[in-house]
Structure 1
Amino acid sequence: MIMASTVAIIRVVFTDDRERAVAIGIWTAAHSVGATIGPLVGGLVTAEWGWGAVFLINVPVIVVILAVGTRVIPESRNPVSRRWDLASVALSVTGLAGVVYALKQAGEHSGVNGVIVTTAVVGSVLLHLFVRRQRRIAEPLLDFSLFHERRFTTATLCVIGCFGSYVALLFFLTQWLQQVGEYSPLRAGLALMPLAGANAIGAVTAPWAANRWGNRWALTGTLALFATALTVMAVVGDTAHYGVLLVPLLGAGYGAGIVMTLGADSIMSAAQPDRSGEAAAIQETSFELGAGLGVAVLGTVLTAVYRTGLPQVPGLGPDGRAMAEESFAHAEGLTANLPSETAQTLQRAAQQAYDHGFTTVLTLAAIGLVVTAAMAAVLLRPPKTR
């Protein structure tokens, strides 16, 4: 709710298109850098003072925001009060939860069973009912009429695809560096800083890219840049040579920063000012939906590839293998109770299987970004003049 409100305020305060694009670029940079630095700071704080301190470090920041925000942030609201539809909330939350749960379980079990199929079907039906309800009721939770604007719909899909790939990269790259490259949590966090820095630079320079090439080709080109960076990382990525990773990390961060900023700005500018709250809610939902689906879908793929790619390890019994197939962490935990040679063999096998899974995830994400780039190039064409 906070993130959506901040975007709505930007839409109201910055009425000039160029100023609004710059403001959203700064907002996107803060969003992405925070997502990258947060786990690093959280890990350091947790190691030093315990997990409870993670919540306490936010208190001083919140106090300052409350004190300053009440004085400098203008009030903005829809003059027409609207009812909050609890049924729509329940349908959307339970439907998404069911679909995501089914995806995760399918990856963990290398296939489907009755529970997974039932959960997926129920989740899909609930989402279908949610969409139908939004089209029928007078005050929908999500106004689908906004999607009649082609630019709005295309920008939303670009944000979902781009941010899903970006968050998945953050999440799985950290694990890959630690599990395959044996980086410490601190070193892995620091290794992500170039990605975050490039993302921030891309976000704040997005208005320049849009002015130079137009939204259509700026979005298409930077989606292609992001896809190329992931492809290079999949082909030449090696945890033992961080310098090789640096160039694709910079390309991925820069491309994603521009796409997220231009996508967010297109979503907001396509809506009328009196509907900025609804547009902001959809914009923020597209970020969160992309992040959730990116980690869920690509995580399912990674788990499945890891499990099927884990070879037989001499000296490891059926129970041990079943446990090792659960995750890399389970396999690593087994090594403490195994003979030295078996433990080393299992460790190498698990690292190779996880590396293969990570490479597969990068490849699929790159393919998805290429498809998204093609969609942007086609759907963002200017209307034909007669």
Structure 2
Amino acid sequence: MTNSRKWGTLVIACLAVLLLSIDLTVLHLASPKLAADLNPSATQFLWIADIYGFALAGLLVTMGNVGDRIGRKRLLLIGTAAFGAASAITAYAPNPELLIAARALLGVAGAIIMPSTLSLVRNVFTDPKERTSAVGIWSSVSAAGFALGPLVGGVLLDHFWWGSVFLINLPVVALILVTGFIVLPESGNPRPGRIDLPSVPLSVVGVLGLIYALKEAARGGAAQGSVIATAAIGVAALVVFVWRQTRLAEPLIDVRLFRRRAFAASVGAELIAMFAMLAMSLVFAQYFQLVLGWSPLIAGLAGMPGGFAAGGGGALAGTLVHKWGRGPVVTLGLVMTAAGFALFSRIGTDLSYPYLLVAMIIQGVGTGFTFAVTNDTLLATAPKERAGAAGAISETAHEMGGALGIAVLGSVLNSAYRNGLDLPAGLPAAAEAQIRDTLGGALRAAATLPRDVAGAVTGAAKQAFVEGLHATVLTGAAILLCLAVAALFALRGVPKVIPEYESTGQDLSEDPAEGVPAVS
């Protein structure tokens, strides 16, 4: 393969992941306008935010295996076309119910796209050092999408309705389709087997059952009958799924990969780190616009440095791995991310932006270090012909972590907000219920109250939200610090450069990263 085609493949893979990253973050920025126009309930609002990640997480493993069998180029182009169609439907959704359904369709299309991006990169970059650098670039572009999304969304939201942020996907989709058809090489498993159809619903029911149960438990308590039943169904489905995978010649997930310490540690690190990260994107979109009163464009610009810092961290990670090793770089990244979260706990209803800028850069660089190294480690310790399935596991960890983060940390924020509200007496019952539901609801309800009462309600609601933000970021920081300690031990001894290998005839219970001399 020519050098230009190899790097062209990386560019197209980066464009595809950029599309998905932008789509995820523009929704967060659009949420205040969306809430004002469609007036979703608190439960509907969480589902609007969550359903994309849930649908994506539930189908990634299946779609990664489909790509290994029918061809990753073909699957990427099919998914991209579907993503464009779903974006147009989402932009014109007239009510919360249809918006939730449209976001679910976007998640399905995203699940078709995402595994192919990493697996294409894995297959064209066969030199281990080049692969580490390419995956670092891919990770940095993904992080940059989190910064560009609010900027693009802010420009659109200052001039158009909330649905315009989804129409921006269409020119990017067209570019990927045209260039991808010409440039991308086809790749797949040279010995594909049939997909085990019973495994598909088992994986979807297991993943979504547990996520839904955790979401409902965080909101209404774990003792609810629906929570217990859903959790039991999810656990049972996953147990049967794992049991079935151990008995298949061509499983959806080769569970023996998880016997490899580097592989299992990378999956766990990605899930927990994304758990903390994605929730904060949604929280700060609300903080900038509803607490500080900034326009969507100013809010988007304010959040850009964190995303670009993450991109810089991802690009730098490969160099640091060759100097220090994988475990130390991941641990440093997680500690820096936790430090940034801790610094966020000092912001209030008034903001010193230079202080926030420092916190965002520290957190962003740490995030870039973490994801670039864990992505490369996970891909390098899986067989090349199973790259689609391995990439799907990586992205499933991302999406499950993000969805769980929004559900759990979002619930922490909502609970702290409601418990921290100190409202004036004598409010109408309907207005008080709306005020206690969400900060956006409080600001809308305040607009209907007498001026002196409205001022007291607005001040109390903003203060309660900020106190909830503090509880949320400190919870995230504690989780990240625990993960940093675990990662340092779990990734010890993994070489700086993991050699290329094929899985044919190899026992996957043996770790190819173990015992390989580190290359400086």
Same fold per superposition (TM over 0.5): yes
DSSP 3-state at the match of 1:235 = coil
Match of 1:17 in 2: 128
Match of 1:161 in 2: 272
Contact 2:316 2:369 in 1 (8 A): yes
Measure, in 1, the Cα distance between the counterparts of 2:328 and 2:136.
18
Measure, in 2, the Cα distance between the counterparts of 1:304 and 1:372.
25
Contact 2:150 2:303 in 1 (8 A): no
Contact 2:189 2:386 in 1 (8 A): yes
Measure, in 1, the Cα distance between the counterparts of 2:297 and 2:163.
19
Match of 1:297 in 2: 408
Q: Extract unaligned runs of 5+ from structure 2.
A: 1-111, 494-513
Residues 218-267 of structure 1, C-alpha deviation per residue, up to 9 Å, x if partnerless? 11111111111111221356642111111110000000011000000000
Match of 1:75 in 2: 186
Contact 2:158 2:295 in 1 (8 A): no
Contact 2:348 2:466 in 1 (8 A): no
The Cα shift of 1:210 comes to 0.7
Measure, in 2, the Cα distance between the counterparts of 1:46 and 1:108.
31
Contact 2:421 2:436 in 1 (8 A): yes
Measure, in 2, the Cα distance between the counterparts of 1:342 and 1:94.
48
Contact 1:225 1:252 in 2 (8 A): yes
Q: 1:42 to 1:86 in 2, by over 3 A?
A: farther
Q: Extract unaligned runs of 5+ from structure 1.
A: none
Match of 2:72 in 1: none
Measure, in 1, the Cα distance between the counterparts of 2:283 and 2:347.
17
Measure, in 1, the Cα distance between the counterparts of 2:221 and 2:416.
9
Deviates more, 1:156-165 or 1:214-223: 156-165
DSSP 3-state at the match of 1:337 = coil
Match of 1:61 in 2: 172
Q: 1:82 to 1:40 in 2, by over 3 A?
A: farther
Contact 1:264 1:283 in 2 (8 A): yes
Contact 1:107 1:303 in 2 (8 A): no
Counterpart amino acid of residue 229 in structure 1: G
Measure, in 2, the Cα distance between the counterparts of 1:235 and 1:52.
34
The Cα shift of 1:53 comes to 4.3
Match of 1:123 in 2: 234
Q: 1:179 to 1:63 in 2, by over 3 A?
A: closer
Which of 454, 458, 469 lines up with 1:343 in the alignment?
A: 454
Match of 1:320 in 2: 431
Contact 1:36 1:170 in 2 (8 A): no
Contact 1:223 1:255 in 2 (8 A): yes
Contact 2:139 2:314 in 1 (8 A): yes
Q: Does 1:362 align with 2:485?
A: no
Q: 1:30 to 1:82 in 2, by over 3 A?
A: same
Q: Does 1:150 align with 2:261?
A: yes
Deviates more, 1:221-230 or 1:102-111: 102-111
Residues 51-89 of structure 1, C-alpha deviation per residue, up to 9 Å, x if partnerless? 554444333322332222233222211012232334323
Measure, in 2, the Cα distance between the counterparts of 1:331 and 1:102.
28
Measure, in 2, the Cα distance between the counterparts of 1:183 and 1:125.
47
Measure, in 2, the Cα distance between the counterparts of 1:228 and 1:378.
20
Residues 184-216 of structure 1, C-alpha deviation per residue, up to 9 Å, x if partnerless? 221111111110110110010000111121111
The Cα shift of 1:355 comes to 0.8
Q: 1:132 to 1:37 in 2, by over 3 A?
A: same
Measure, in 2, the Cα distance between the counterparts of 1:236 and 1:320.
28
Q: 1:133 to 1:93 in 2, by over 3 A?
A: same
Q: 1:105 to 1:179 in 2, by over 3 A?
A: farther
DSSP 3-state at the match of 2:325 = helix
- Relative to the length of structure 1, the TM-score reads 0.92
Match of 2:142 in 1: 31
Deviates more, 1:341-350 or 1:242-251: 341-350
DSSP 3-state at the match of 2:204 = helix
Measure, in 1, the Cα distance between the counterparts of 2:158 and 2:235.
41
Deviates more, 1:213-222 or 1:32-41: 32-41
Which of 361, 370, 373 lines up with 1:250 in the alignment?
A: 361
Q: 1:328 to 1:355 in 2, by over 3 A?
A: same
Q: 1:384 to 1:282 in 2, by over 3 A?
A: closer
Contact 1:203 1:260 in 2 (8 A): yes
Identity of aligned residues (%): 38
Match of 1:221 in 2: 332
Q: 1:341 to 1:112 in 2, by over 3 A?
A: farther
Task: After TM superposition, list the pairs within 5 Å mapping 1:204-283 onto structure 2.
Answer: 204-236=315-347, 239-283=350-394
Deviates more, 1:51-60 or 1:340-349: 51-60
Q: 1:262 to 1:238 in 2, by over 3 A?
A: farther
Measure, in 1, the Cα distance between the counterparts of 2:414 and 2:198.
34
DSSP 3-state at the match of 1:76 = coil
Q: 1:279 to 1:168 in 2, by over 3 A?
A: same
